[in-house]
Structure 1
């Protein structure tokens, strides 16, 4: 039996639900796929991870493989798309990290007297309210995350943030256009 006809028989069996047939396809093509991904991404560990993701995706998509199509080419196509997705994701993560560092390192634009007034206003808030304001407004927690962190009901956190924000704005003499 030729390699192509063996692949066709294994694909047909895998499309019928045979995990054993798919396992044989993996055995037949994993070296070629891993070698391709290692060359494509230049990182052995990443290539191995991508190969695993490729085989998982291939198992769920085996029904879409057309009769007579090259299994190896199909797998390499899936693997390459996984690689491109990983590259884009890593780029977005690097951009987010860079923006975070820029924001974190940017000098505060508030005047020293405004910072002191804000600290004093925060100190005047009740402890639970101050904690909710600090997490939601200063640390960018969602209300749900703050509720979980502080072990408070979600509605209580929302109320504390709203009231605390209003008290801070009033203490700083700022008009609250949002309410």
Structure 2
């Protein structure tokens, strides 16, 4: 997260002439950070998928459950709509508050909260049965 913030400030400094002053400068920087975060997530996802070749000698028995859960989560995240995945990723993967995510995405706060709630509900519904957890137990994690 620190790398993304630093990169956002550097990019903002380099592109400060493009800031039109229509909104808060902090919001403009947060939007840059959100875009950088998403690019990094996509890049990391591609690297994760290309690094995970089916080679039995490289995987220990302890890594299999973790790899399976990671793949389950990746599959569940892909089932979300783009905006739900973005809001959930920023709020939970990017450690932004709902307000910060709303500002970064230029969306109303209520809309971001709705997308996060719907996204989490869909993730719970997909992951709870596979993990052998009840929806109520997973809901309190």
Determine which structure has greater relative contact order: mean sequence separation of CA pairs < 8 Å that are 6+ residues apart, divided by chain length: 2
Larger Rg: 1
Where on the TM-score scale, by shorter chain, does this alignment land: which range?
Answer: 0.3 to 0.5
- TM-score, normalising length: structure 1: 0.37
